[in-house]
Amino acid sequence: MRSVLIALISAILCVSPSDGSELSDSIKLDYDSYLAELWDHFHRNPELSLVEFETAQRMASELRRAGFTVTEGVGGTGLVAMLENGDGPLVMMRADMDGLPVEEKSGLPNASRKQQESPITGETVYTMHACGHDVHITSLVGTARQMVARRDAWSGTLMLVVQPAEERGMGARMMLEDDIWDRFGAPDYALAFHIMADNAVGTINLLPAPYAGVDMVDLVVHGIGGHGAKPHQTKDPIVIASQIVLALQTLVSRELPPREAAVVTVGSFHAGTKHNIISDEARLQLTVRNVNPETRTYLLDGIERIATNIARAAGVPEDRLPEMTVRGGYTPPLINDMQLGARLRAAWTERIGENVVTDIPKQGMGGEDFSRFMNLPTKSAVYWDVGGTPTEDFARAAAGGAPVAGHHSAAFTIAAEPSVRLGVESTVVALLELMGD
């Protein structure tokens, strides 16, 4: 049956399995006849982290149809698809599949109107692929189909990983805790990419350290409540917490060396119930980002130091000082193996075109839990970005027109066809470089 599937896919794509020179044309043909409809389906039907049941089922079906042996339920809703093809390296390619609790306002004709019960709040919320994971999983299917059609051009074992819950920084850890390496083998190489709205279509961006380490921190600031008309009888936690928020800004601006990248952002501040009541506590939620373990330790220690001593200065009793909790699931910084990166850069330049690989510095400190998969014995792993925004959109924004919407925005929009096609092409070229005969 598998040989029949392979022959069928090769016939559909109109390629000889060893005919790498026609890769770009073959991918375009497959996009027009198959992948465009698949991307449309995924875009219309995003699912939240940990409850990607329909997405996982569709991916399992697609990868089995392509000729892979698929194991479902790895680390929750995750999948591992294996294709053995003789002696050679074990190479992993990962795609994340979860969406976000955002109501889509992109203006696309296939904008998501899907709603789903949030596993966090229990509320029914709109869902959206506001980070491009629909491109990732569509490209993974396209990669599977191309690699099957080119089995004569490579040898080894290809491991395709469909990961849940990347948006919550949990999915990679959950798959590792489910013994993915023991069950399927520790890869000799691990690969992944992300579609990037900040970069132009037709480009691959490869950086030594593209993503930061991330912690989520909860801070409970205790006070002594009372009547709003008698503040002298209280220790106002809103005032204390406000001072803490402002003082935290000095951790990066005045305590770290100017060239040391870091972020401390207070994303949530909740306190009080009524106009004239001074509450007993205020609750803060922070995201804390770093590029190395030393900076992480300094930031976390600094947050606790600042919160504790501002509360003390306000006269809060020692038994009611702030409580700080660092949420489990720290995501380490993502550090590429640039020796492997140089090898892939040369392959992309030769096979896809001159100047396709860029070195555009990132303007933010996003996190990515693929970094957990990079802790391999060989430490041979590379993560790259694929440009997703047409150059005319950047020109329009520069001329004072509508800005290019970023990731996690309700207006997030990327050009699907060039994004998926380059996602497939960059991946297949990388795999053939590492596994080619």
Residue range 376-428, pLDDT digits in tens? 776 799 999 999 999 999 999 999 999 999 999 999 999 999 999 999 999 99
Residues of the chain with CATH 3.30.70.360: 214-326
pLDDT class for 171, splitting at 50, 70, 90? very high
In this prediction, residues 244-267 reach a mean pLDDT of 96
Residue 373 pLDDT > 60, yes or no?
yes
Beta strands across the sheet bearing 204-205? 69-74, 78-85, 156-163, 90-96, 189-200, 381-389, 204-205, 357-358
Q: Which residues on neighbouring strands pair with residue 282, listed in sequence order?
A: 221, 271
> Are 234 and 223 within 8 A, CB to CB?
yes
pLDDT class for 329, splitting at 50, 70, 90? confident
Residue in this structure with the two tokens 């401390």, named with its chain if needed? 264
- How many Cα atoms occupy the beta-carbon half-sphere of 66 within 13 Å? 31
Residue 375 pLDDT > 80, yes or no?
no
Strand 381-389 and strand 156-163: the pairing is unpaired
Taking residue 196's Cβ as centre, other Cβ atoms within 10 Å add up to: 25
Range from 109-113, 371-375, 427-431 carrying the lowest mean pLDDT:
371-375
pLDDT score at 431: 98
- Going by CATH, does the domain composed of 214-326 fall within 3.40.50.300? no
Residue 217 pLDDT > 90, yes or no?
yes
Give residues with Cβ within 8 angstroms of 351, minimum separation 6. 20, 23, 429
Residue 46 pLDDT > 50, yes or no?
yes
Residue 224 pLDDT > 50, yes or no?
yes
pLDDT class for 437, splitting at 50, 70, 90? confident
CA gap 189, 391 in Å, rounded: 33
Higher pLDDT, 305 or 6: 305
Tens of pLDDT, residues 50-103 = 999 999 999 999 999 999 999 999 999 999 999 999 999 999 999 999 999 999
Percent of the chain with pLDDT over 70: 95
2-211+334-435, superfamily in CATH? Zn peptidases (3.40.630.10)
Three-state SS across the chain?
CHHHHHHHHHHHHCCCCCCHHHHHHHHHHHHHHHHHHHHHHHHHCCCCCCCCHHHHHHHHHHHHHHCCEEEEEECCCEEEEEEEECCCCEEEEEEECCCECCCCCCCCCCCCCCEEECCCCCCEEECECCCCHHHHHHHHHHHHHHHHHCHHHECEEEEEEEECCCCCCCHHHHHHHCCHHHHHCCCCEEEEEEEEEEEECCCEECCCCCEEEEEEEEEEEECECEECCCHHHCECHHHHHHHHHHHHHHHHHHHCCCCCCCEEEEEEEEECCCCCEECCEEEEEEEEEECCHHHHHHHHHHHHHHHHHHHHHCCCCHHHCCEEEECCCCECCECCCHHHHHHHHHHHHHHCCCCCEECCCCCCCCECHHHHHHCCCCCCEEEEEEEEECHHHHHHHHCCCCCCCCCCCCCCCCCHHHHHHHHHHHHHHHHHHHHEC
Residues of the chain with CATH 3.40.630.10: 2-211+334-435
pLDDT score at 83: 98
Structure tokens at 176: 């590792």
Residue 224 phi/psi, 5° resolution?
A: -125, 115
CA 367 to chain centre: 7
pLDDT score at 207: 95
CA gap 385, 423 in Å, rounded: 9
In this prediction, residues 265-271 reach a mean pLDDT of 97
Structure tokens at 294: 């030393």
**This prediction's pTM:** 0.90
CA gap 38, 145 in Å, rounded: 13
